[in-house]
Homo-oligomer: A and B are copies of this chain.
Amino acid sequence: MPGQGGTFPPLIDQHCHGVLRTGPEPDVFEGYLTEAHVPQHPDPGPGSPPRGPGGRAGYFDTQLGFAVRRWCAPELGLEPHCPPAAYLERRAELGTTEVTGRLLRASGIATFLVDTGLPGALLTPGELAETAMAEAHEIVRLERLAERAADTARDTHSFLAELADSVRESACTARGFKSVVAYRCGLDLEPTPPGTSAVYAAADRWLASRVRGGRLSDPVLERHLLWSAVRTGLPLQLHTGFGDPDLRLDRCDPLLLTDFIRATAPYEAPLILLHCYPYHRGAGYLAAVFPHVHADFGLTLTHTGARARHVLAELLELTPFGKLLFSTDAYGVPELYLTGARLFREAMTSLTGQWVERGEWSPSDAERVTAMIAGGTAKRLYGL
């Protein structure tokens, strides 16, 4: 049984983003601890939380903020739960490179699958791997492929041809695809692949109205992307559940994907439902009844901190144990990798420890299931 102080299987972080090359400045650090668009509210009104040490809304006063102070402070030579100001000061003193290296190497993550579709001056997967003394592979974000093709295409025909090429090429170099259709049109999609003429018409409309750099949110093109990915047979990660305020959470319930899941069942491509909270029990149901569906917790454990154990336990109600995958969804600051990894490790150890103590699970099953979730299943699905 994985015990306190005992060994824990190496982690495969099956869904994360990059780490900033430099910074962040202390006064914007808290913005990385929340899904709120903090920088857009530089002067919060009376309805906002009290300002934190950096002069912004106090996002250190959250489960994630407390978890960062608990788990990361000791790696920087501070007491757990030291004041946020002391933490930020020490962080600045050590510098980005040193902090990133220490926190990544302490995370126990051996392999990163990096969704490279987010903007910002981030370490590449290769640099992340080097810094963490780990491996890294790429996950390609579908919407980014479409947006890039739209930026360069001469016309609708060349746009769709280039998009098809880029999906095909990505399938050779990346380990899987990711879609943020939840953000762009919600998950209540028509389940079937759109016909060629519908795709052309949608592409015409989008390209005609689009300004350079504009986001894809056309539902026909989104379906076209999803089906293009499914047809490659590679794993397809789908954002579900909470995220930043660009989404409407009630349109991100993974159960809204049910008809799409049915339609894609005959294909080989595994679907991986990311995050899922607060709809994670529904995600567990989908993983239980559809062979190609899997669930992940990503953002969820990181943001629920001291409650991670309970949320993970809920995911372990219906999800078959071979169909749940660890990830951190970390972005921007290395704290999110370390915190996500530690919270999972502690939660899993504590939960299975209780179940073994009560006789509900055997010690060897606890060890086996922990290894599956930590990385075994990801290894199998992504061919690592």
Q: Which A residues have a C-beta under 8 Å from some C-beta of B?
A: 34-37, 41, 44-50, 57-59, 61-63, 66-67, 69-70, 80-81, 235, 242, 244-245, 248-250, 253, 255-256, 258-259, 262, 268-271, 277-278, 281-282, 285-286, 288-294, 303-307, 310-311, 313-314, 316-318, 320-323, 355, 358-362, 365, 369, 380-381
Residues of B with C-beta under 8 A to A34: 288-289, 320
Structural contact, B63 and A317, CB atoms closer than 8 A? yes
Q: Which of B57, B61, B365 contacts A369 (CB 8 A)?
A: B61
Alpha-carbon separation in the docked complex, A284 to B243 (Å): 12
Chain B residues positioned under 8 Å from A245 (CB to CB):
262, 289-290
Q: Do the beta carbons of B322 and A50 come within 8 Å of each other?
A: yes
Q: Are A248 and B242 touching (Cβ within 8 A)? A: no
CA separation between A304 and B313, bound complex, in Å?
A: 10
Q: Which listed residue, B46, B63, B256, touches A268 by the CB 8 Å rule?
A: B46
Q: A250-B256, A314-B307, A360-B66 are known contacts. Are A61 and B322 too (CB-CB below 8 A)?
A: yes
Taking each of A44, A249, A269, which has the highest tally of chain B beta carbons within 10 Å of its own beta carbon? Answer: A249
- Asked if A304 and B318 sit within 8 Å, CB to CB, the answer is yes
Please give the distance in Å from A118's CB to the nearest CB on chain B.
18
B288 and A318 form a contact (CB under 8 A): no
- On chain B, the residues within 8 Å of A278 by CB distance are 281-282, 285
Q: Determine which residue in A49, A235, A361 has the highest number of CB atoms from chain B within 10 A of its CB, and name it.
A: A49
How many angstroms from the CA of A336 to the CA of B58 in the assembled complex? 33
Q: What is the bound-complex CA distance between A47 and B290, given in angstroms?
A: 10
Ordered by A's residue number, 23 sampled pairs between the chains whose C-beta atoms are within 8 Å are A34-B288, A36-B291, A45-B270, A46-B270, A47-B269, A47-B294, A47-B381, A58-B322, A62-B318, A63-B316, A66-B365, A69-B362, A245-B289, A249-B258, A250-B255, A250-B256, A278-B281, A278-B285, A288-B303, A304-B318, A307-B316, A310-B314, A311-B317
Chain B positions within 8 Å of A310 at CB level: 313-314
How near does chain B come to A236, taking the closest CB pair, in angstroms? 10
What residues of B have a CB within 8 angstroms of the CB of A288 in the complex? 34-36, 62, 303
**A323 to chain B: which residues have CB within 8 Å?**
49
Residue of B nearest to A246 (CB): B289
Partner of A289, one of B244, B277, B318: B244
Of chain B, the residue at the smallest CB distance from A362 is: B81
Judging by beta carbons under 8 Å apart, are A291 and B45 in contact?
Answer: yes
Q: In the complex the two chains form, what is the Cα distance from A20 to B262 in whole Å? A: 29
**Whole-angstrom CA separation of A314 from B281 in the bound complex:** 14
CB distance from A12 to the nearest CB of B (A): 16
* A381 near B46: Cβ-Cβ < 8 Å: yes
Residues of B within 8 A of A304 (CB): 317-318
Residues of B within 8 A of A282 (CB): 249-250, 278
Q: B47, A291: Cβ atoms under 8 Å?
A: yes
Known: A47-B270, A69-B362, A80-B359. 17 other contacts (CB 8 A): A35-B288, A36-B291, A46-B381, A47-B271, A47-B293, A47-B381, A49-B322, A70-B360, A244-B289, A245-B289, A249-B258, A250-B282, A277-B281, A288-B303, A306-B360, A307-B317, A311-B317
